[in-house]
Structure 1
Amino acid sequence: MSDFILDAVLFDSRDIFHKSPFGAVKAGETVTFRILFPILGRVGRPVLLMYKVDVWDQPERISMEYEKSDGVYHSYTCTFTPQEPQLYFYRFEVVSAGQTVCVFRDEGGFAKMDFQGDGMWQLSVYDAEMKAPQVLTGGIMYQIFPDRFCSSGVPKENVPPDRVIHQDWYEWPHYRPNQEGKITNSDYFGGDLKGIASKLDYLKSLGVGTIYLNPIFEAHSNHRYDTADYNKIDPLLGTEEDFRELCGKARELGIHIVLDGVFNHTGSDSVYFNKNRRYGNGGAYNDPNSPFRKWYDFIDYPCKYRSWWGFETLPDVNEHEPSYVDFICAEQGVLKKWLRAGASGYRLDVADELPDSFLDEITRSVKEENPDYAVIGEVWEDASVKISYGVRRRYLQGRQLDTVMNYPWKNAILSYLRYGDVNQLFYGIMDILEHYPKPVLEVLMTSLSTHDTERAITALIGDPVDQNNREWQAQHNTLSPERYQMGKRLFILASVIQYMLPGIPCLYYGDEAGLYGYKDPFNRTCYPWGREDQELLQALRSLGKIRTEYPGLSSGEYIPVYFTGEAAAFCRVCGKTRFYAAVNRTDHPVSPILPAEFRSGTILFGRMENDALAPFESVIIVKE
């Protein structure tokens, strides 16, 4: 068989001519496949091999029927109707000259024909009843690290005396170890719930429809991922009444509150574990008869126990223990307590470390309270194919997670704008669109910065952090005015891409005001009230206005138009309304392809002159 014949087979799973419908499908929905072979190849009837995930020795073999010829290619077609939510992989086989030849997926996602090959295409099948939670479908999401957003100045009661309170809102958080060589995260700036409530009008001006709060429950670190009491608001943040008031005022403005659910581990300094005896003599560490003893796995009681990534301050919880599951998920459990207090859902910390049975119970409990409340998972990779601790996960097949944090797009956008990695951007976007169910995509949480990563401006223009420690980060954390201005320009380009993609853009507090910084704690400095970068703030307000005026952007069709190392452009089709978005990441003018219909459209953001983008410029055009 000649190389021409091997290379000439045509199948592209992203093209509805070859696979329809595009992307993931509902259970019971019929999928049509079409593959083209050159006439000169003289191949026999091809077969579609459909594999249920992890069942590689028993594929379903579906014969493809001859359809027609155009004088160059023969086309063959078949249909497949999956009946249950499931993850499938597929490829093709064909007989040529008496030999069986594989048709498999190459690195770019296209068909390659050879005698051997193990690349396969993915077909995600999800529950036909799956729907996007309505609380996430309006405007953008805004992530707040509560201690660092806004302080009301209201005195607090019952604040533990071992907390260090900064007197200067604008100084850096502590980043060096203490005299014992430990990072305690025990310094605070006093941001609180009343402070957030006082800024709701500001958040509304950014187009915010959802606030995602990092942990707010009582804990003895400034990040509060070491929960001390799930049933109490941390005293430095305020009271339960303050939380109820915040949720009520937010809802009056059409804003919903999503809480950080940290259910994989607790703090060692907690009412449940109580290693430091802050809560008396009880707790799992001190009392083998404690009701919480069964929540934890002790290897050598009490000193040696299983903990999150070896951090002894974060003892792991056994999520299979019925008493713990009930504590979190039952009718009077933690989840429903705070939903009834005004929350509209949860973002689940380290979702890939929570077993499926526990995730199922969390979702059941939340949806029982209100089907439109949200359950979002922290998953850093493509969640549709995630394997964690040897288990293939089913997050997105229905009845579990509504959606996930979208780190793949974050990484692709930043890598493109900093390094020109056009393949990561193009294929990174397309892979997620192809693999995730439509209800998941509609509320996909796409950030450019988070509390776990360096801020976007630093990621775009700062010296690469790599594995450098906090001392290095502190020395390199400040950007010169020139580098900051360039980072800001790149960040606006990144935001244009982020805001114009499907799903829900998530803005990390202070990014819109010009905050930058490396990883924890430099990405957790205080919001610079009164010192905002007004140009940047106005740009993000303009983008937020587009998202609030055109809510269809969360779910409309995405069409790539022009992708090179210099510029990227794509269209969105939202019913009768069409959009064109383009960015130029270079220091010279670039003319990306501009479809003719948009020459008479309305420019919503940026500028474009004579079909060209100026250096580091972007544009968003609408045609209604």
Structure 2
Amino acid sequence: MFNSRNPAYRNPTGAVPAKSPVHFRINVSRDLKCSAARLVVQDDNWGQTENFGMFWCGMDGENHEWWECHFTPKAPGLYFYRFYIDTWRGTLELKKGFGGEGSTEAHNGPWQLTVYDPSFDTPHWMTGGIMYQIFPDRFYNSGTPKANVPQDRKLHEHWGEQPDWKPDERGIITNSDYFGGDLKGIEEKLPYLESLGVTCIYLNPIFEAHSNHRYNTADYSKIDPLLGTEADFQHLCAAAKKRGMHVIVDGVFNHTGSDSIYFNREKRYPVEGAYNSQQSPYSSWYNFHPWPNQYDCWWNFDTLPDVNECAPSYNDYINGTHGIIRKWLALGADGWRLDVADELPDEFLENLRDAAKAEKPDAVILGEVWEDASNKEAYGQRRKYFQGHQLDSVMNYPFRNAILGFLTGADAANMMEIIMNIVENYPPQVLRLLMNHIGTHDTERAITVLAGEPMGNHGRDWQSSTHLSRERRQKGLRLMRLAALMQYTLPGVPCIYYGDEAGLEGYRDPFNRGCYPWGHENEGLVEWYRRLARLRKSCPCLNEGIIYPLMAGDHCMAYIRDDGEQRLLVAINAGEQDHCIYLPPEWHDAEALIGKLPDERSALFLPPLDCVVLKWSYPAPKEKPAQPAPGPKDLQ
């Protein structure tokens, strides 16, 4: 009766700019004797509901008829819609079902229409690229001597040892052990990243902080001394740019460290922090109940005091003309990844975006959001990330869940539905920049999820001693190939978490933050990532081409990317049995980039834990016959 993903029923599909008309059509059985139909739209901004009468517009064969109308959203925001039809059985409600289809039997409620500001644009330099996430302390140690490193840091003697995980004598996990990875080390490895096709490096926090993860910022204005200097950062950005790479940095603006120049609970700094004096210039940044020992902190960690982001002096310090956002962009960064974006107020996000775009118009702003960011609610408020004044895009955890779920036995159709819901709900300019990862510093390593023993409620002792057996690792490497293929061919930008391409394993923090295994990489997997980079570069349809599912079921999934000039078909068998997919005849003329072409019966053969990628190009338009040059008479 209706399908929100099919332009025959809703045109255009997906998110739309404000003041752009959307054409709706529903297909009603003649047996229902429909006398009237209407579209009902609720504006999420104001809570207002509008009714739009639909017009009878013709027959669809002998037994069905079309009803249609237009709706033009006036302003950016979310709109939720459904249909009602008056029939001999009474008034029936048409609601969203599986796959975007409409049915009077559906129970999922209304469809979502995402509407964005018509002027909303996102940087184009990321489109079609490849990201690489680096946890700086664990990537590569250049061996360069460092100055002004605090004495309370423990440096491991050997690269690749297991990170410390046991609490100290006070029962506290301090995260104060380091391996000495640094900015110069990253610069030394730029040729390696270039061989992987990397176009964007995302660095976990690099600013002064007194833990190895550096999410407890001590001074936003300085590079952590163990990583190097401000000059090292500038040199890294310049060297990356020469190789066609951009650098984005991590901004942790929801909280600082208690051991910081701003709070100074540990009295490390010779200044009066908010903890030391109520007359501190930073006093208004924090909320005390009462001062000094009771204060708001992130998830009740008293080492991470929450910041009042809307305090004028804090906002100016971060987003002002001479603020932190503009400083690091001016020194060479090309964007920011925002930690816990759902905990940053709208006003702060809008100010941050204004500051970034004023300093560097093509700077990218990526947010950490774990759910569907188009309809995310946080602290009782609907977020406005994609209306055009906050984020450019987000970390794509839903795709991660779909990829790893599919490859570990979850229903293929349900996993495809996760993917297609994101595609339907996100603006296209957001979709093409999605940070498509299968693991980060906050999650278990992908190969461990795919082939390891489930972690369940096991503690750190079990996690530290549990590793993949030889058999599990071999299966994990095969599944990593399939996961990476999906990363590289779904809408968005694939993001490699450093070491995933080398087969690095590990459960949760700190085991997912091990050292890159230089000299001990799985070369076969590394080469697979290089092959995928070549595939991505040779297939422009992966930049902004639409996606539509071909099939999803029986542990198999196939989808097509299409930009009107080229089609790419990706088929994956995550099961233990052979599988065949039957294709339209035109795929006989395709080129097999991975695997084999279909046989004479149009059957595409998929062995267990394997994949096929086919490329097909549209026929070139016929050129018109050349016209003879005009003669003197013609010119007269």
1:179 aligns with 2:172: no
Provide the secondary structure at the position in 1 that maps to 2:114: strand
Instruction: Give CA-to-partner distance per residue, 1:190-227, whole Å, 9 cap, x none.
Output: 10000000111110111111000000000000000000
What is the 5 A alignment of 1:522-601?
Answer: 522-601=511-590
**Match 2:506 to one of 517, 532, 551:** 517
CA contact (8 A) 1:585 1:616 kept: yes
1-side partners of 2:155 and 2:411: how far apart?
A: 43
Q: Residue 108 of structure 1: CA displacement? A: 4.8
Which of 142, 149, 174 does residue 152 from structure 1 map onto? 142
1:275 corresponds in structure 2 to: 265
1:294 partnered with 2:284: yes
Distance change in 2, residues 1:239/1:595 (3 Å): farther
Match of 1:332 among 314, 322, 329: 322
1:106 alignment counterpart? 97
Does the 8 Å contact 1:583/1:618 carry over to 2? yes
Distance 1:198 1:606, change over 3 A: farther
Q: CA deviation at 1:566?
A: 2.2
Measured against aligned partners, the alpha-carbon deviations of 1:117-147 in whole angstroms (never above 9, x if no partner) come to 6710000011111122123225200000000
Query: For residue 335 of structure 1, what is the amino acid of its counterpart?
Result: I
Match of 1:168 in 2: 158
- Cα separation, 1, equivalents of 2:583 and 2:507: 37
Conserved? CA contact 2:264–2:276, under 8 Å: yes
Query: In the alignment, does 2:606 pair up with 1:616?
Result: no
2:194 to 187, 204, 215: 204
What residue in structure 2 maps to residue 16 of structure 1? 7
The answer as to 2:214 corresponding to 1:224 is yes
Residue from 41, 64, 68 that aligns with 1:73: 64
Aligned letter for 2:9? H
**Partner of 1:157: helix, strand, or coil?**
coil
CA contact (8 A) 1:281 1:287 kept: no
2:50 aligns to what? 60
Question: 1:193 and 1:80 mapped to 2: Cα distance?
Answer: 53
Please say if residues 561 and 593 of structure 1, whose CA atoms lie closer than 8 Å, have aligned partners that are also in contact: no
1:126 has 2:116 as partner: yes
User: What's 2:623 paired with?
Assistant: none
Out of 367, 374, 377, the residue aligned to residue 367 of structure 2 is 377
Q: Which amino acid in structure 2 is aligned with residue 73 of structure 1?
A: H
Distance 2:313 2:588 in 1: 63
Q: Look up the SS of the partner of 2:581 in the other structure.
A: coil
> Deviation per CA, 1:347-372, whole angstroms, max 9, x where unpaired?
00000000000000000000111221
**How far apart are the structure 2 equivalents of 1:93 and 1:78?**
13
1:502 to 491, 494, 504: 491
Tell me the secondary structure at the aligned position of residue 384 of structure 1: coil
Which stretch of structure 1 is more off in the superposition, 373-382 or 25-34? Answer: 25-34
| Distance across 2 between alignment mates of 1:158 and 1:138 | 41
- For residues 584 and 396 of structure 2, the distance between their equivalents in structure 1, rounded to whole angstroms, comes to 29
Aligned to 1:493: 482
Q: Distance in 1 between matches of 2:32 and 2:46?
A: 31
How far, CA to CA, are the matches of 1:376 and 1:68 in structure 2?
Answer: 46
In structure 2, the residue matched to 1:84 is 75
Tell me the TM-score normalised to structure 2 length. Answer: 0.94
| Aligned partner of 2:35 among 20, 29, 44 | 44
Task: Report SS of the residue matched to 1:558.
Answer: strand
1:14-72 deviation digits (Å, cap 9, x = unpaired)? 1111111111011121111110111011122100001101655x411111100111211
1:221-248 Cα distance to aligned partner (Å, 9 max, x none) = 0000000000000000000000000000
- Distance in 2 (alpha carbons) for counterparts of 1:189 and 1:473: 20
Q: Report how many aligned residue pairs link the two structures.
A: 612
Tell me how far apart the structure 1 counterparts of residues 296 and 368 of structure 2 sit (CA, whole Å): 21
**2-structure distance, mates of 1:607, 1:493:** 16
Deviation at 1:609, TM superposition (A): 6.5
Identity of aligned pairs, percent? 50
CA distance, structure 1, for counterparts of residue 89 and residue 517 of structure 2 = 72
- Alignment partner of 1:342: what SS? coil
CA distances 1:449-506 after superposition (whole Å, capped 9, x unpaired) = 1000001101111111233221221232x11111001011011111111110111011
Distance 2:458 2:350 in 1: 39
State the 1:567 CA deviation. 1.2
Does structure 1 conserve the Cα–Cα contact (< 8 Å) formed by 2:97 and 2:108?
no
How much has 1:281 moved relative to structure 2? 5.0
In 2, Cα distance between equivalents of 1:587 and 1:94 = 47
CA distance in 1, matches of 2:157, 2:340: 33
The amino acid that maps onto 1:555 is: E
1:248 equivalenced with 2:238 (yes/no): yes
The DSSP-based 3-state class of the residue aligned with 1:122 is strand
Opposite residue 616 of structure 1, the aligned amino acid is: L
Structure 1 match to 2:626: none
Where 1:279 maps in the other structure, the secondary structure is coil
Q: Which residue of 1 is the match for residue 621 of structure 2? A: none
Residue-by-residue CA offset, 1:180-199 (whole Å, 9 max, x unaligned): 11110000001000000011
Deviations 1:143-190 (A, max 9, x none): 000000011011100000100101111111011111111110000001
Decide whether aligned partners of structure 1 residues 537 and 609 sit closer, same or farther in structure 2, where only a CA change above 3 A counts: farther
Q: Distance in 2 between matches of 1:528 and 1:607?
A: 34
CA contact (8 A) 2:128 2:542 kept: no
Deviation at 1:106, TM superposition (A): 3.0
CA distance in 2, matches of 1:275, 1:208: 41
Whether 1:441 and 2:431 are equivalent positions in the alignment is yes
Shift of residue 514, structure 1, vs aligned partner: 0.7
CA distances 1:59-95 after superposition (whole Å, capped 9, x unpaired)? 1111110011121111101111112112100001122
Alpha-carbon distance, 1:551 to partner: 4.3
CA contact (8 A) 2:132 2:200 kept: yes
Question: C-alpha separation between the residues in 2 aligned to 1:601 and 1:110?
Answer: 31
Is the CA contact (8 Å cut-off) linking 2:572 and 2:606 kept in structure 1? Answer: yes
Structure 2 segments unaligned to the other structure (5+ residues): 618-636
SS of equivalent residue, structure 1 residue 399: coil
Task: Single out whichever of 185-194 and 578-587 deviates more from structure 2.
Answer: 578-587
Separation in 2 of the partners of 1:374 and 1:599?
Answer: 41
Q: Which amino acid aligns with 2:468?
A: L
Q: How does 1:354-369 map to 2 (within 5 A)?
A: 354-369=344-359
* Contact kept? 2:587, 2:598, Cα under 8 Å: no
Q: Distance in 1 between matches of 2:594 and 2:199?
A: 21
Q: What residue number does 1:27 align with?
A: 18
Report the aligned-residue RMSD: 1.5
Query: In the alignment, which residue of structure 1 is the partner of 2:396?
Result: 406
Deviations 1:263-284 (A, max 9, x none): 0000000000000000025111
Alignment equivalent of 2:385, drawn from 390, 395, 406: 395
Shift of 1:110: 2.3
Of residues 497-506 and 591-600 in structure 1, the stretch that sits farther from structure 2 once superposed is 591-600
- Alpha-carbon shift at residue 549 of structure 1 (Å): 3.1
Contact 1:382 1:432 in 2 (8 A): yes
Task: Please state whether the residue corresponding to 1:135 is helix, strand or coil.
Answer: coil
Matched-pair contact (CA < 8 Å) for 2:541–2:561: no
Counterpart Cα distance in 1 of 2:614 and 2:88? 53
